[in-house]
Amino acid sequence: MNRPLPWLRPKALIGMVHLQALPGSPRSRLSIGEIACKAAGEARLLAEAGFDAVMIENMHDAPYVHGRQGPEIVAAMTAAGLAVRAELARVGLGHVPLGVQVLSGGTREAVAVALACGGVFARIENFVFAHVADEGLLAEAEAGPLLRYRRSIGAEGISLLCDIKKKHASHAITADVSLGEAAAAAEFFGADAVVVTGSATGRATSAEDLAAARAGTSLPVIVGSGATPETVAALLETADAIIVGSAIKHGGVWHADPDPARVEAMVRAVHAARGEA
């Protein structure tokens, strides 16, 4: 890692906590209190197993509406983040870093939620260049407005982990921009790290794409999809960290509950990749 983040250990393992569907979204069934309680339990499972950081995300809110998110989303995610922080502190794991992602395109919301609940990072899609995604046209790059907003609310301690050539999107309109060039653009525009993924949730991130990103930027390079216990060693030869969601769920399916056996297997694989017992 050429430009380390203070909270990100080398070869870090970051676990996704997929919040149950939030109020107003089509699959919403639970109260905010129930959502927050479930999130806290999942975060504790990951942290106690040895994950280096956890991140909350509203992935069950599909189909996503891109752009500004309603106050009910911000309120629910803040409640979940505070519940996670409280539970981790209760069991002596309050030092575990917390991150936030708000789908889709809720970049300001993610930074604000992270600030409110003691988080240290936010995952940002569409940071540089426009995309055509399954939720529609993402016509405006987020970097300029987002960095100004982050400064305006005193949240410059919130690191921005920025996807390049984001998953679930077509990149025909930027086909003449290589992945390495996209990584360089993200660095130039003020990203704190770049996230490289496969084409969709759970799809493997290629070694070639990781190498291209590494060649294009001095920022930390993070795997954002598709890592498994069998692939982490090879991925961490290039990447600085791995974000894991699908592989730690029952059946390897993102919308299932975490599987303690899969959680432990992932931690063991990362420890082995670090050369730890």
Whether 6 is in a domain gets the answer no
* pTM of structure: 0.94
Whether 43 is in a domain gets the answer yes
Whether 3 is in a domain gets the answer no
Separation between Cα atoms, residue 20 and residue 34, nearest integer Å: 9
Residue 238's pLDDT is 96
153-159 own/partner pairs: CB under 8 Å, 24+ apart: 153/111, 153/112, 153/115, 154/115, 155/111, 155/112, 155/114, 155/115, 157/120, 158/111, 158/114, 158/115, 158/119, 158/120, 158/121, 158/122, 159/5, 159/7, 159/8, 159/120, 159/121, 159/122, 159/192, 159/193
Residue 1's pLDDT is 47
Separation between Cα atoms, residue 227 and residue 152, nearest integer Å: 36
pLDDT digits (tens, 9 = 90+) for 178-217: 999 999 999 999 999 999 988 667 688 899 999 999 999 9
Residue 167's pLDDT is 65
What's the structural domain count of the chain? 1
- Radius of gyration of the chain from Cα atoms? 17
Residue 134's pLDDT is 76
CATH number of residue 215's parent domain: 3.20.20.70
**Token digits for 38?**
């479930």
Whether 5 is in a domain gets the answer no
Whether 152 is in a domain gets the answer yes
Residue 3's pLDDT is 61
Residue 68's pLDDT is 86
Q: Which residues contact 209 (CB under 8 A, 6 or more apart)?
A: 165, 179, 196
Range of the domain at 155: 12-274
Whether 229 is in a domain gets the answer yes
Whether 112 is in a domain gets the answer yes
Burial of 102 by CB count in 10 Å (0-12 exposed, 13-18 middle, 19+ buried)? buried
Q: Residues in the chain with pLDDT < 70?
A: 1-3, 167, 169, 199-200, 202, 277
**Token digits for 174?**
């930027």
